Amino acid sequence: MSGNDETSKPLIDDDYILIEDEATALLPPRCEREWLVLVVDDDPDVHQATEFALRGMEVEGRSLRLLHAHSAAEARQRIVEIDDLAVLLLDVVMESEDAGLKLVEHVRRDLMRKALRIVLRTGQPGYAPEQETIRDYDINDYKTKSELTRIRLYTMLTTAVRAYRQMRAHEDMRRGLETVVRASTELTKLRGMQLFAQGVVGQLCALLDVQPAGLICAQEAHPGDLMSARVIAAAGPFQHLIQRPLEELEVAEIQSSLKACLAERRSYFGATLTLYFASESGCGLAAYVEVRRELDELDRHLLEVFCASMAVGFENVQLYARLVDQAYVDPLLKLPNLNRLLEVLDQAQSASGDLTLALLDVDQFSAINDTLGHAYGDMVLRAIAARLIKGLPGCTVARIGNDVFGVLGPGTQVHADALTQLLVENFEIESQPVRLTACLGLVEQAGSKRRGNELLSDAHVALKQAKQHQRGSSVCYSQSMGQDVRERMHLLTGLRDAYGAHHLFLVYQPKVKLSDGSPSGIEALMRWRKDDGQYVSPDRFIPLAEQAGMMATLGTYVLRSACQQLARLRVAGYTQLSMAVNVSQAQLREPDFISVLRKAIEDSCLPPEQLELEITESMAAEDLALLRHLLGEISALGVKVAIDDFGTGFSSLSVLRHLQAQRLKIDRSFISEMAQDDSIARMVIGLGHTLGMSVTAEGVETPEQAQALREMGCEEAQGFHFGRPMEELALLQWLAAPGPRV
């Protein structure tokens, strides 16, 4: 977003991809070997960032061509004009708060563009919370702009383009096959091939004027593999062999005739007639007919025409079978896929019985792929699928995601204990035992009239809850869980409105020198006061803001407001006070954080050394190299750094040595325990001094705590004993009050 007015920035910062600052190159003329991607966003920076992020990339051997629309209305026109548009990268909030969502409905319902892949990209998740958006709208992916790095954007587009290519291929094939296999469109692969073969038998009988006896059709399962050949249609005494291996045919003469026909890929005309029907796949079909009369020239000519005609029909049936496979069967595991599971769920609505849908997400599967390779990961998935199928007879087992399985069956079979028990025994992968666990999300279907996609969404909500716990956890969906999702949505909406209505504001908690009780600084803290005067606890809205990607913008607001407040205090004569501001990990990861920090200091005309940024020690565990680099840049500006909540995270003491920080803060939990055990407080103070840091104690509430900390050598403290967090006027009154504060 351009301009210097920080308060005009959107709630979600759209500058989410680090790119070089250079002019956008003109795109070359349209090439047939391109995938067309339409970027729909009202922020020009998003268009430019996407162009730079994807420049030079190819997907499936084709380059990506980005087209642009800056409003939903413009996008509608472009989508109508472009028939082979592959992917729509769509913002939610444009002309209106739900412009993007309305465009999704228009594309799916009015334009009937089912193959077009739609990816929602939002900088303001509060307008479209993830669970409800996925539940209510026919989209293919949902991402916040802050998580779309160059690599993740490319991965997401690769998946979308592959799905688009397959769906377009399905549509093209379906249109070509409708006229030639119209009667077979509702058949499964097995029944379709059987009926076709039976039709071949019947037409041969009519053509040659023979009785339907002694007729056999055999088909190879794999090209050139006679051992895989099976009987797929028969008449008379051979009917019992249908779907049995050709090797089990008792009559040696007929068996050898069919094998010779398949092996040599040609027909034999004689008293024992054997006809060959070719296919492009190489899996031929042979038909044996006991004619019992001499064939004349006309018979042979008719049979040649018949074979040519039936070969086309045979190929069409195989094409349709492959189409069904691609649309409804997972290519790796040969299980039903998401499309098929949704059909089964919808069909189950009219069936009686107590059914349960379970989603099974394999724990740490990405780590298996990363460390042992995708081939090994595929073997793991095959092993899990085999065990689920064997352990849940009669249930539908589907693969609906990379490492996510769906299971639908009676509640007596499909429940958390049964599914967990199936995974207890080690799996054997490449002759080695492997221990696997999975998180489970379950939803009971009994009495429900909801559509399949709604039940699947509920199961996903339960699965997400399970994944927030330990590995192997299971959660069953409940109405209260759905209510929690709605409450979170309302709270997010309220938080967005509160920001716009200035109901978010800062309070300031003073800090004092323990040596003489004089004020040494203040810490800025954010508060939310609703219209009715009630406060929303920071413990509730701060985690939501972090999950929704709002912390970068809120953090910038806190930083600028705190700097402006310190500038006003300096004008009032309090020139020696420092201002402490908490900085989130999301803020630090913003590519423009240092420039935002520099501008906040410059606009407020502050000495940078009077500003102190507080970070938590757990940030170092996430990305120590990045944090060290950023702290170096912060120190270069002259700004100080404090390590907050020390001792509550999981970073090692060796990490602390590498952080350029000037202050260590003792967490309030250790202060409250001092009356019983002050060893941790002493240790932190000693550690801070050893590393050349000043030490501040948080949560000091009694004179005894303040006295004990002073005797331990702690330089600074804050807490209710000295002063509660207060707004500007109360802070000025507190500062003006005479006398020491301890």
Instruction: List pLDDT tens digits, range 207-250.
Output: 666 665 556 666 666 776 777 787 777 766 777 777 788 888 87
Strand 432-434 to 427-429 pairing? antiparallel
So what's the pLDDT on residue 173?
41
Out of 220-224, 649-653, 685-689, 707-711, least confident range:
649-653
Q: Quick: pLDDT tens for 261-284.
A: 888 888 888 767 888 877 766 777
Out of 74-88, 287-301, 411-425, least confident range:
287-301
Strand 504-513 to 716-717 pairing? antiparallel
Q: Please tell me the class of the 349-480 domain.
A: alpha beta
| Separation between Cα atoms, residue 143 and residue 289, nearest integer Å | 61
| Separation between Cα atoms, residue 603 and residue 214, nearest integer Å | 96
Q: Give the three-state DSSP class for 302.
A: helix
So what's the pLDDT on residue 212?
55
- Residue environment code for 47-79, b if the CB has 16+ CB neighbours within 10 A, otherwise e: bbbbbbbbeeeebeeeebbbbbbbbbebbbebb
So what's the pLDDT on residue 725?
94
Q: Quick: pLDDT tens for 163-203.
A: 888 777 556 444 433 322 332 333 333 345 666 666 666 66
Which secondary-structure segment (H or E) carries 217?
strand 215-219
- In the numeric block, which tokens belong to residue 728? 């500007």
Could you tell me the sign of the dihedral formed by the alpha carbons of 552, 558, 561, 564, in that order?
negative
Out of 354-358, 475-479, 607-611, 651-655, least confident range:
651-655
User: Does pLDDT of 257 surpass 80?
Assistant: yes
Beta bridge partners of 611: 579
So what's the pLDDT on residue 178?
39
Instruction: Give the type of residue at 376.
Output: Y
So what's the pLDDT on residue 214?
54
User: Does pLDDT of 687 surpass 80?
Assistant: yes
User: Backbone phi, then psi, for 490, in 5-degree steps?
Assistant: -65, -40
Whether 66 contacts 51, CB under 8 Å? yes
- Residue environment code for 699-720, b if the CB has 16+ CB neighbours within 10 A, otherwise e: bbeeeebbebbbebebbbbbbe
Confidence of residue 542 (pLDDT cuts 50, 70, 90): confident
- In the numeric block, which tokens belong to residue 58? 């190819």
* Cα Rg of the chain, angstroms: 35
So what's the pLDDT on residue 221?
65
Q: How far, CA to CA in Å, does 652 sit from each of 239, 616, 617, 656, 671?
A: 74, 13, 9, 7, 21
What is the overall mean pLDDT for the chain?
A: 80
Give the relative orientation of helices 365-372 and 374-391 as an angle to the nearest 10 degrees: 140
Confidence of residue 115 (pLDDT cuts 50, 70, 90): confident
So what's the pLDDT on residue 41?
92
- Residue environment code for 567-596, b if the CB has 16+ CB neighbours within 10 A, otherwise e: bebbeeebeebbbbbbbbbbbbbbeebbeb
| Separation between Cα atoms, residue 477 and residue 500, nearest integer Å | 35
If you ran DSSP here, which 8-state letter would residue 660 be given? -
So what's the pLDDT on residue 590?
87
So what's the pLDDT on residue 344?
87
Whether 140 contacts 463, CB under 8 Å? no
So what's the pLDDT on residue 174?
45
Instruction: Give the type of residue at 87.
Output: V
Of these ranges, 18-22, 243-247, 607-611, the one predicted with the greatest mean pLDDT is: 607-611
So what's the pLDDT on residue 484?
64
So what's the pLDDT on residue 296?
67
Instruction: Give the type of residue at 624.
Output: L
DSSP codes joined into one string, 478-513: -HHHHHHHHHHHHHHHHHHHHHHTT-EEEEEEEEEE
Cα 622–chain centre separation = 20
Q: Count CA within 13 A, CB hemisphere, residue 671.
A: 28
So what's the pLDDT on residue 192?
59
**What beta strand segments (E) does 337-384 contain?**
355-362
Other CB atoms within 10 Å distance of the CB of residue 227: 11
So what's the pLDDT on residue 702?
93
Confidence of residue 525 (pLDDT cuts 50, 70, 90): very high
Out of 125-129, 310-314, 339-343, 682-686, least confident range:
125-129
User: Does pLDDT of 430 surpass 80?
Assistant: yes
Mean pLDDT over 377-401 rounds to 93
Report the topology of domain 182-328.
Answer: Beta-Lactamase (3.30.450)
So what's the pLDDT on residue 477?
85
- In the numeric block, which tokens belong to residue 25? 């190159």
User: Does pLDDT of 394 surpass 60?
Assistant: yes
| Separation between Cα atoms, residue 461 and residue 132, nearest integer Å | 10
Contacts of 306 (CB under 8 A, 6+ apart): 203, 204, 207, 275
Q: Give the three-state DSSP class for 233.
A: strand
Q: Using CB atoms within 10 Å of the CB of residue 203, give its burial: 0 to 12 exposed, 13 to 18 middle, 19+ buried.
A: middle
| Separation between Cα atoms, residue 656 and residue 645, nearest integer Å | 13
So what's the pLDDT on residue 651?
52
**Is pLDDT larger for residue 154 or for residue 513?**
513
Q: Please tell me the class of the 502-736 domain.
A: alpha beta
Whether 578 contacts 521, CB under 8 Å? yes
User: Does pLDDT of 696 surpass 90?
Assistant: yes
Mean pLDDT over 315-325 rounds to 71
Q: How far, CA to CA in Å, does 324 sit from each of 168, 195, 320, 328, 347?
A: 14, 16, 6, 6, 18
Other CB atoms within 10 Å distance of the CB of residue 289: 23
Which secondary-structure segment (H or E) carries 609?
none
User: Does pLDDT of 614 surpass 90?
Assistant: yes
Look at the block and give the residue holding tokens 């989209």: 139
User: Does pLDDT of 682 surpass 50?
Assistant: yes
Confidence of residue 483 (pLDDT cuts 50, 70, 90): low
Q: How far, CA to CA in Å, does 340 sit from each of 389, 415, 544?
A: 16, 21, 35
Beta bridge partners of 409: 356
Domain ranges of the chain: 6-178, 182-328, 349-480, 502-736
Mean pLDDT over 110-127 rounds to 80
Q: Using CB atoms within 10 Å of the CB of residue 285, give its burial: 0 to 12 exposed, 13 to 18 middle, 19+ buried.
A: buried
User: Does pLDDT of 145 surpass 90?
Assistant: no
Which secondary-structure segment (H or E) carries 543?
helix 538-547
Report the topology of domain 6-178.
Answer: Rossmann fold (3.40.50)
So what's the pLDDT on residue 5?
40
So what's the pLDDT on residue 544?
75
**Is pLDDT larger for residue 606 or for residue 152?**
606
Q: In what order do the strands lie in the sheet with 272-277?
A: 230-234, 215-219, 285-290, 272-277
So what's the pLDDT on residue 621?
64
So what's the pLDDT on residue 61?
83
Mean pLDDT over 534-539 rounds to 80
Confidence of residue 512 (pLDDT cuts 50, 70, 90): very high
So what's the pLDDT on residue 400?
92
| Separation between Cα atoms, residue 310 and residue 459, nearest integer Å | 47
So what's the pLDDT on residue 195?
67
Using a pLDDT cut of 70, give the percent of the chain over it. 78
User: Backbone phi, then psi, for 326, in 5-degree steps?
Assistant: -65, -35
